[in-house]
Amino acid sequence: MRVLVLGVDGYIGWALAQRLAHRGYDVYGADNFFTRRRVKEVGSDSVLPIPSIGKRLIDFKKFYGRELKFFRGNVSDPGFLYRIFRDIEPDVVYHLAEQRSAPYSMLGLKQANETMVTNIVSTLNLIYAAKDMNPDVHIIKLGTMGEYGTPNIDIPEGFFEVNFRGRKDILPFPRNAGSWYHWTKVHDSNNLMFANRLWKLKITDVMQGVVYGTGTKEIENSHLYTRFDIDEVWGTALNRFAAQAVAGLPITPYGKGNQKRGFLSLEDSITCLTIALEKPPDDGEYRVLNQFDQYYSINELAETTGEVYREMTGRPAKIEHVPNPRVESEDHYYSPDHKKLQDLGYKPSGELRNDLRKIIGDLMEYKEKCVELRNVVMPRTSWRDSSGL
Ligand code: USQ
């Protein structure tokens, strides 16, 4: 089976390509190195060393005994995507080639525009390429739990039954995102849903929580690391907290820290994405999967990180609540469903404390790099101050 990973050079894409190769698929990848470039622009870098794509591809072939055929280019260019479809006729396409940072999208109008165009246009290109070139392809599209926001009611997986003025219907659950980035994912979901209604494309729309971790089973063996970001723009909550502890910096819950989010390890994210491929939707189905293991409050995560760090090193980690740079609810109800992936066979691989031990252990080997990046760790990107020209 031919599987194309758009965004193969990224945090999830590189780990996913290794799982797919390990499971015997023919893996193809595309990337334009957007993340590498933009991370450099904010003065940051991946804590785990990642070589150039050329070296990555050589190492990949050496370890997995099979080539990862790579296409360099931008999925927002329809010609580029159509060429790949023509060349390899993929059976499955993972779309991970979007601008993935909420803070980046809030830096200002330029970045907001760039996020809108990159994300919405790339998905629309994929929809048309599938429809024109291979209507049977299975599109697995990375969306986000953040599409739903934090409503004061339970969150279903995509759709819910509404009873309004005596009439009933099954409707898409209302989306209420919290950054320009998260809104692009809502727009993508709407476009995918409509494409499915128009042309019966086979689509899995993954509502993924915040992913954490330094690796997967394959990476433990191959040592072909995926990137690991800790700065305020590109790093995400738990990864940042572990790196802050290791660097001797305060762990930074934003505001009250009672905001809750769904989290899952990189290992589990890759497992779920593989399940999405191996247990596909029916032909012509648009399916939504909520993809996370557990939900936690930011305070719980900060405290657990501090405790695990102290157990491992005998040294305390400081927790410092900082003014929240985002516009978000800091105290709210949160109860999203996440049953469909479990019904398809997903079992979480581990437990938070063990996962944290592994992350902190791995980061201690790169402590100097964590310390070197200390000036880009504290939050600076303000949702309130985002401005235009
Ligand atoms: N937060 C802190 N302190 C920090 C960093 C973050 O309290 O130092 C808080 C934020 O205020 C927010 C929560 O942690 O309430 C999550 O923030 P995040 O930066 O870890 O994640 P987010 O911006 O939501 O985006 C990340 C990924 C994105 C993915 C999303 C899943 O960058 O690609 O779609 O997680 S979700 O959050 O479920 O929408």
Q: Hey, whose CA ends up nearest to atom 3 of ligand 1?
A: 253
Distance of CA 16 from the midpoint of ligand 1 (Å): 21
Going by CA atoms, what residue is nearest to atom 15 of ligand 1? Answer: 259
Report CA(163)–ligand 1 centroid distance (Å): 33
Q: Is 12 in the pocket of ligand 1 (CB under 6 A)?
A: no
Atom of ligand 1 nearest to the CA of 143: 34
Nearest to 310 by CA among 366, 242, 367: 242
Position 389 scores a pLDDT of 81
Write down the catalytic residue from 185, 202, 260, 369.
185
Which residue's alpha carbon is nearest to atom 18 within ligand 1? 236
pLDDT given for residue 106 in this prediction:
98
DSSP-assigned letters across all residues of 309-340:
HHHHHS----B--B---S---SS----B---H
Query: Quick one: angle between helices 298-313 and 237-247, nearest 10?
Result: 30
Among 216, 207, 210, CA closest to 294: 210
325 lines ligand 1 (CB under 6 A): no
Q: What is the 264 CA–ligand 1 centroid distance (Å)?
A: 12
Catalytic residue among 35, 118, 123, 144: 144
Q: In angstroms, rounded to a whole number, what is the distance separating the alpha carbons of residues 190 and 20?
A: 28
Average confidence (pLDDT) per 10 residues, the chain, 389 residues: 98 98 98 98 97 98 98 98 98 98 98 98 98 98 98 98 98 98 98 98 98 98 98 98 98 98 98 98 98 98 98 98 98 98 97 98 98 97 95
What one-character DSSP code corresponds to residue 336? B
119 lines ligand 1 (CB under 6 A): no
Q: Residue 62: its pLDDT value, please? A: 98
pLDDT computed for residue 258 by the predictor: 98
Q: What pairs with residue 141 in β-bridges?
A: 95, 205
- For residue 259, give the ligand 1 atom closest to its CA: 15
> Rounded distance, CA 32 to CA 24, Å?
25
The CB of 138 under 6 Å from ligand 1? The reply is: no
- Total-model pTM: 0.98
Query: How remote is the CA of residue 308 from the centroid of ligand 1, in Å?
Result: 21
Inter-residue contact 141 to 95 (CB < 8 Å): yes
Pocket flag, ligand 1, residue 251 (CB < 6 Å): no
Question: For ligand 1, what atom is nearest to the CA of residue 326?
Answer: 11
CA 237 to ligand 1 centroid distance, Å:
6
Indicate whether residue 175 lines ligand 1 (CB < 6 A).
no
Q: Which domains does the chain have, with CATH numbers?
A: 2-376 (3.40.50.720)
Is 319's C-beta closer than 6 angstroms to any atom of ligand 1? no
Buried b (16+ CB within 10 A) or exposed e, 314-328: eeebebebeebbbeb
- What are the tokens at 58? 């050589």
What's the residue count for the chain? 389
Q: Tell the residue nearest (CA) to atom 14 of ligand 1.
A: 237
Residue 181 annotated as catalytic: yes
Assigned token pair, 91: 């059976």
**Alpha-carbon span 379 to 385, nearest angstrom:** 13
Which residue matches tokens 């990189």?
266
> What are the Cα distances from residue 59, in Å, to 33, 36, 261, 310, 320?
18, 19, 36, 36, 41
Mutate to test the pocket of ligand 1, among 261, 268, 272, 370 (most ligand atoms within 8 A of CB): 261
296 catalytic? Reply is: no
Q: Which member of 28, 64, 181, 309 is catalytic?
A: 181
Distance of CA 236 from the midpoint of ligand 1 (Å): 5
**Annotation says 204 is catalytic:** no
